Structure 1
Amino acid sequence: MTPAFIGIGSNLGDSRRLVAEAAASLGGLPRSRLLRSSAHYLTPPWGVTEQPSFINSVVEIETLLQPAELLSALLALEREAGRLRDGTRWGPRALDLDVLLYGDRVICDAGLRVPHPHLAQRAFVLLPLAEIAPERVVPGLGRVADLLTRVDVAGCRRLTAAAF
């Protein structure tokens, strides 16, 4: 089994529900099991800033799926949640699922790059990732906890269960 960390985000529709359901669905992927899930975070948009705030989370799964199989499963979950991939980058979306880390592997395929190419720049990824795996080493970049100290977390807020 390979540990994989998946970033989950949503800013369209019932984002809190979509993120929670996505985390549960990741634990139900074939030949996979959910290990840990972070709290949800309310975060400002990144890239295109004229859009609603996001709800973000990170989960850790163990999987026997190969990276391309995992990506295919994530894309299917996005489609089921109503995501339409129209080529727009960093825009609003019902559900966004990203392979952040896949074991200690570095993957540079046409459709998949791991570690995620913007992982070290994004507070909305590093905050929930640091919550569940602060000592995890991102290949070529360093410890998650150290990476978190280098990003601006202003505007990010951890949501409590009561906030749901």
Structure 2
Amino acid sequence: MSRRLAQESPEPRPADSAPARRAVVAIGANLGDRADTVARAIAELDRLPLTRVARSADPIETVALTLDGPDAAAPAYLNTVALVDTRLAPSVLLGYLHAIEERHGRAPRSADQARWQDRTLDLDLIAHGDVVCETPALVLPHPRAHERDFVLRPWLAVDPDAVLPGRGRVDALLAALPGSTP
């Protein structure tokens, strides 16, 4: 006869009965019809299983970042943030984000892929509730989100009380960026 731990439920809970968590997805595009791509990506997020888009910010246009810093000669990005309520595990949600990117023409990610290339669509999982994790495939919260005006500004626009786990309030992070105006 096996013994159950007190906190272990007698039967596994179906995924759809798990509590939803608020996840933050950064969306960017600098190739093709950027506005249409961003709008379609948000609609696709809203159609994911066990997920709904709670809010998304108006897109902002930003200068492309390269390894050497901002590059005004590169195609400009259209960036926004979507707040989604999801019952999907972070790794599962990330897999769906990569599939959406691929449907919009982004080549599958590889370990040696340049981080700074132009993109038809870029979806980054910034935060997933208060989850903190670091694996080869996923780091949460996103390790550079606190440095990125194009993530913090739209996030703050849709959630004035937003907090980036482990980093603090988004309004304070944005105010601390050089040359940033909230």
What is the TM-score of this pair, normalised by structure 1? 0.89
| Map 1:91-102 → 2, pairs under 5 A | 91-102=117-128
Matched, 1:150 2:173: no
Relative contact order (C-alpha < 8 Å, sep 6+): which is higher?
A: 1
The structure 2 residue matched to 1:13, chosen from 13, 25, 32, is 32
Q: CA RMSD in A?
A: 1.5
Among all aligned residue pairs of Structure 1 and Structure 2, give the percentage whose two residues are the same amino acid.
39
Matched, 1:38 2:75: no
Change (3 A) 1:153 1:70: farther
Secondary structure of the residue that 1:140 maps to in structure 2?
A: coil
Shift of residue 47, structure 1, vs aligned partner? 2.8
Secondary structure of the residue that 1:29 maps to in structure 2?
A: coil
Provide structure 2 residue ranges, at least 5 long, that are not aligned to the other structure: 1-19
Distance 1:12 1:152 in 2: 27
- State the Cα deviation string for residues 42-75 of structure 1 (Å, max 9, x = none): 0011234252110001000111110110000000
Match of residue 162 from structure 2: 136
Larger of the two Rg values belongs to structure = 2
Distance 1:42 1:106 in 2: 30
Matched, 1:125 2:148: no
Change (3 A) 1:134 1:46: farther
Shift of residue 152, structure 1, vs aligned partner? 3.9
What is the TM-score of this pair, normalised by structure 2? 0.81
Matched, 1:27 2:53: no
Q: How many corresponding residue pairs? A: 155
Give the counterpart letter for 1:111 in structure 2: A
Shift of residue 133, structure 1, vs aligned partner? 1.5
Match of residue 69 from structure 1: 92
Secondary structure of the residue that 1:16 maps to in structure 2?
A: helix
Matched, 1:105 2:131: yes
- State the Cα deviation string for residues 97-131 of structure 1 (Å, max 9, x = none): 00001001111111111111110111111110110
